[in-house]
Amino acid sequence: MKKILIAEDDEFLLTAYKVKLAKAGFEVQSAVDGNEVIKMLNEFTPDLIILDVIMPHKDGFEALKEIRSISKWKSIPIIIASNLGAKDDVDKGLSLGATDFISKSNLSLKDLIEKINTLLK
């Protein structure tokens, strides 16, 4: 079973992720901020990471930067999930090493699952 690590500070969205992804057959681990993500990464290596951008303590971009700086995590597919959508943010995310960028309010969960499946292929 593929493991997905999700970083998301909103509890409702996190629950939604967990339910849907579990239903899709993924093992889901979660973190609520950037620091926790790093901590968890030290404990296990997921097959894919979903990173929220706006998070307390350490936001998604900083976490992304840190993750990508560790060689063993360099190639893990990372999706930046945001509600921003400004081109600068998209570019920033991609330049920092994100594999993809989604806009949470524009993308349905179904499409998200599809995207994940594509990335894990």
Partner 1 sequence: MYTVFSIFAFISGCYTLILVNIRAYKSLMTIWFTLFLLCGLTVDSIHLVNLFGPNTTILYVSEILRNTALIFMPMAFVMFAFMYAGAESFLRKYIVVVPFSVCLIVLVYLLWATDVLIIHDLSQVVAYPWGRELAAGKFNYLIGIWTAIQFLGVEIALIDAYRKSINPIQKAQLKNIVLAAAVPLFTSIGIYFVFPYFGYRVGGLQQISDAIFYIAVGLALIRNSLFTFDVASVTQDLFNSIRGAYILIDYENKIVLTNNFFEKLTGYSSRELTGESLETIFFDHDMYLDFDSTTLSQIKGSVTIDRDETQFKSKSGENIPVSIYGSIYRDIHSNPIGVVLIAHDIKKLKEKTIGLEMKSEQILNQNIELERTKKAMINVLEDLTESKTRVEEEKIKDEAMLQSIGEGVITTDEHGIIILLNHAAEIMLKSQAKQLIGKEYSKVLTLVEKDGRIVPEDERPMHQALVLRKKTTPVESGFKYSFKRDDGSLLPAALTVTPVVYNDKLLGAIAIFRDITKERDIDRMKTEFISLASHQLRTPLSALKWYAEMLLAGDVGTLSDQQKRFVESIGVSTERMIALVNSLLNITRIESGRIIIDPQPTDLVELINSVVEELKIKYKFKQQSINIKIDDKIPSINVDPKLIRQVYLNLLSNAMKYTQDSGKIDISLSIKGSDIVSQISDNGLGIPESEQGKVFQKFFRAENVVKIETDGTGLGLYLVKAIIESSGGRIWFNSEEKKGTTFYFSLPTVGMPSKKGEVTIEE
Residues in contact with partner 1 by the rule CB under 8 A: 10, 12-13, 16, 19-20, 23, 54, 82-88, 103-106, 108-110
Report the 10 Å Cβ neighbour count for 120: 12
Q: Smallest distance, Å, CB 106 to partner 1?
A: 7
Q: Which is nearer to partner 1, 29 or 82 (CB)?
A: 82
What is the token pair recorded at 119?
């990335």
Backbone angles phi, psi at 111, to 5 degrees: -65, -30
Q: Smallest distance, Å, CB 57 to partner 1?
A: 16
What is the token pair recorded at 46?
């997921």
Q: Which is nearer to partner 1, 1 or 86 (CB)?
A: 86
Q: Which is nearer to partner 1, 40 or 113 (CB)?
A: 113
Contacts within 8 Å (CB) and 24+ apart, 84-89: 84/53, 84/54, 89/53
